A and B are shown apart, each in its own frame.
Chain A
Amino acid sequence: MIVQDAGVIRLGGGQGFYGDGHAGVGPLLEAGVDYLICEALAELTLAILAKDRRRDESLGYTRDLPAYVAMAAAPIVEGSTRLITNAGGINPVAAGRAVVEGLRAAGLHGVKVATVVGDDLRPHDAGLGLPGDTIFAAAYLGAAPIVEALDAGAQIVITGRVADASLFLAPLVHEFGWSDDDWDRLAAGVTIGHLLECSAQVTGGNYSGDWWNLGDFSAPGFPIAECAPDGTAVITKPPGTGGRVSFDTVREQLLYEVHDPAAYLNPDVTADFTSVQLDDLSDDRVRVHGVAGAPRPQDYKGLVCTPAGYSGESRLAYPWPDAEAKARAAARFLVARADALGIAVLEWHEEYFGLDALGGPTVDLDAADDAGTEPNEVMARVVWRCADRSDASRLAREAGQLGLGGPPMVTPFGRARDTGPTALMSLAAIPVARDLVDPGVRIGLEVS
């Protein structure tokens, strides 16, 4: 256990998405954190959870939540750590019930578990004009309901769609008593939250510099923020873990998915990341200070998800010589089959692995030709979108004819083929009036 400075609150970033590894959590708890914060919801995650809940009313939260609770149970019961997570997804009440039952089953009684509901926008569909086939619609709530739950003594707080950074701001507001118009401090808290919300992505994950010098990727150091009441913080990681905390790794995460860096919009505050100062203290410690804030946006951000048809695809690999020519001929074969069968394809997409699959038009295909270099192999990935599921599926079967009747020497890559059509979805961000949402935000408290 690290000796802690008086007045400093230690936040641990224990999860960056639903499916993140658990290996970084143990070292955080061993190093000692006042709050373990698990961010589980990417934009699409609620769609996955909505599908779960349609199958079973008691689901709709991320299924590894009980595992996180089990890992942190000892320090939670002891009172040295609290857990905050938005893993409640589309069903925070069911998540809370599962956690309470899990604690009781483990003989752990007296733990206060809070749930926050009210982010679901479907009860307001008339006011918002939501489409009838909406898969999910949610508002990004702020820190306030979590602060209220912590003030009420909650040791575990489970929410649905709360803005990622607000999960981290909430304990700082609770501990330090920052007022809800102290824009600079709120912005400082959001900055700390933004840095920690993607777990290892601030400690060397996805680092575009000399990543090969970061050591063992199987033992990632998840991030810790040592936060002071004035809003300054030091970002670090548990001793002995992999990765790196440096000016370079921290600034890459600082700008991740923020759009206008001078006006990072969060439900609690607008943060100016162009004001942030990062001091590399060496030894995997970076000091964050100087953050300026401005008033919060008037509306909540809402996200609405609707169906967008089905995709099917075929992967066809061709060897040198003339690999590209063969792969492109195979793609045209599929278009011809769709035409001949009268399959209505709304959209085609082609990629050539080994050539341009990821770079698209940024790859200069002529330059490779001029140099006389031919790829050793090219895999065509041909994708189509249909309104109808069976159309999307039927066209995939047509690719089989290429085995004996197409350009020479084709092979499907590996055994993972014909996974069936994929249901596609569209996401749209909408402004949502706070007055519409706030009266429906409720906090439930249960003791295990």
Chain B
Amino acid sequence: MATVQLRDLCGVRSGDKGDRSDLSLFADDEATYSALREVVTAEVVRSHFGTMVQGPVTRYEVPNVWALKFVLEAALGGGGPRSLRSDNLGKTLGAALLRLEVDVPDEIVRASARRGRRAPVDRTPIGS
């Protein structure tokens, strides 16, 4: 087994409705999907977000697109127009979820195309 951040295993998209956050993780193949289904439970996600999420977390399995969806209740400080957070709509909570560390079989990590993949940084000054 290897310990990795979700960043190295899957993609993510975040959304909201009222005070609910809605996060989806996307694996690249069946084996990774199965491994994530074992370890990324609703309880793990609830615990990862700590005080940021005040309500229950529900997980939905979406095997046709190798995805897991998490709906987090009372998760946005009261909802978009009420929240005091910079990210009042929880648009970046997906990134916070990618920070989660999980234990998965070595071969899953080795096979992941996302492992170690980083965006190039362009430091050319703008306007030049």
Interface on A for B, CB 8 Å cutoff? 43-44, 47, 206-212, 247-248, 251-262, 273-278, 305, 308, 311, 313, 347, 349, 351, 357-363, 381, 383-385, 424-429
Taking a contact as CB atoms under 8 Å apart, the answer to whether A261 and B26 are in contact is no
Name the distance in Å between A414's Cβ and chain B's nearest Cβ.
Answer: 15
Whether the pair B67, A362 counts as a contact (CB closer than 8 A) is no
Are the C-beta atoms of B119 and A255 separated by less than 8 Å?
no
Contact of B52 among A210, A248, A360 (CB under 8 A): A360
A276 (CB) vs chain B CBs: closest residue:
B64
Q: Which residues of B contact A212 (CB under 8 A)?
A: 119-120
B70-89 CB contacts (< 8 Å) to partner A: 71, 77-82, 84-87
Given A43-B18, A255-B24, A429-B18, decide whether A359 and B69 contact each other with a Cβ distance below 8 A.
no
* Main SS at interface, chain B: mixed
A272 to chain B, nearest CB (A): 10
Q: What is the CB-to-nearest-CB distance from B125 to chain A, in angstroms, rounded to a whole number?
A: 18
**Within 8 Å CB of A211, what residues of B?**
119
Interface residue count on the B side (C-beta < 8 Å):
47
Q: Which residues from chain B contact A207 at a C-beta distance below 8 Å?
A: 11
A43 touches B17 (CB 8 A): yes
Specify which of B79, B85, B95 is in contact with A351 (CB 8 Å cutoff).
B85
How far apart sit A359 and B86, CA to CA, in the bound complex (Å)?
A: 11
Q: Which of A251, A383, A427 contacts B26 (CB 8 A)?
A: A251
**Chain A residues, CB < 8 A from B60:** 259-262
Interchain Cβ contacts under 8 Å between A and B, 29 examples: A43-B18, A43-B80, A208-B11, A208-B26, A210-B117, A251-B26, A254-B65, A255-B13, A255-B24, A255-B62, A255-B69, A257-B17, A258-B22, A258-B69, A259-B22, A259-B71, A261-B62, A275-B64, A277-B64, A308-B78, A347-B84, A349-B84, A359-B92, A361-B50, A362-B99, A383-B84, A426-B81, A427-B81, A429-B17
Let me know if B12 and A424 touch, CB within 8 A. Answer: no
Contacts across chains A and B counted by CB atoms under 8 Å: 136
A215 to chain B, nearest CB (A): 14
Measured between beta carbons, the chain B residues less than 8 angstroms from A253 are 13
Complex: A257 Cα to B91 Cα, angstroms: 11
Residues of B within 8 A of A44 (CB): 80-81
* Min CB–CB distance A104 → chain B (angstroms): 37
Q: Is A362 touching B79 in the complex (CB atoms < 8 A)? A: no
- Bound Cα distance A384, B77 (Å): 12
Q: Which residues of A contact B13 (CB under 8 A)?
A: 206, 208, 252-253, 255-256
Q: How far does the alpha carbon of A229 sit from the alpha carbon of B78 in the complex, in Å?
A: 43
Cα–Cα, bound, A428→B20 (Å) = 11
When the two chains form their complex, are residues A349 and B77 in contact, meaning their CB atoms are under 8 A apart?
yes
- Within 34-48 of B, Cβ neighbours of A (below 8 Å) are at 48
A261 with B117, Cβ < 8 A, contacts A252-B13, A256-B13, A359-B95 known: no
Per-residue 0/1 for B1-29: is the Cβ within 8 Å of any A Cβ (1 yes, 0 no)?
Answer: 00000000001110111111010101000
B86 to A351, Cβ gap below 8 A? yes
User: In the complex, are the beta carbons of B71 and A252 less than 8 A apart?
Assistant: no
**B13, B50, B61, B117: residue with the most chain A Cβ atoms closer than 10 Å:** B13
Whether, in the assembled complex, B100 has its beta carbon less than 8 Å from a beta carbon of chain A, the answer is yes
Whole-angstrom distance from the CB of B86 to the nearest CB of chain A? 6
Provide the residues of chain B in CB contact with A260, threshold 8 Å: 60, 71
A256 to B65, CA, bound (A): 13
Partner of B82, one of A247, A308, A384: A308
Within 8 Å of chain A (Cβ to Cβ): is B51? yes
B22 touches A257 (CB 8 A): yes
Cβ–Cβ contact B16 & A257, under 8 A = yes
Given contacts A261-B60, A274-B63, A361-B52, 6 further A-B contacts (CB under 8 A): A210-B119, A212-B119, A257-B22, A259-B20, A259-B60, A259-B71
B115 CB to closest chain A CB (Å) equals 13
CB atoms of A47 and B64 under 8 A apart: no
Q: Is B111 an interface residue (CB 8 A)?
A: no
Residue of A nearest to B50 (CB): A361
How far in angstroms is the closest Cβ of chain A from B24?
A: 4
In whole Å, how far is B122's beta carbon from the nearest beta carbon of chain A? Answer: 9
Task: Please tell me if B31 contacts chain A, counting CB pairs below 8 Å.
Answer: no
B119 to chain A, nearest CB (A): 5
- Residues of B within 8 Å of A363, CB to CB, are 96, 99
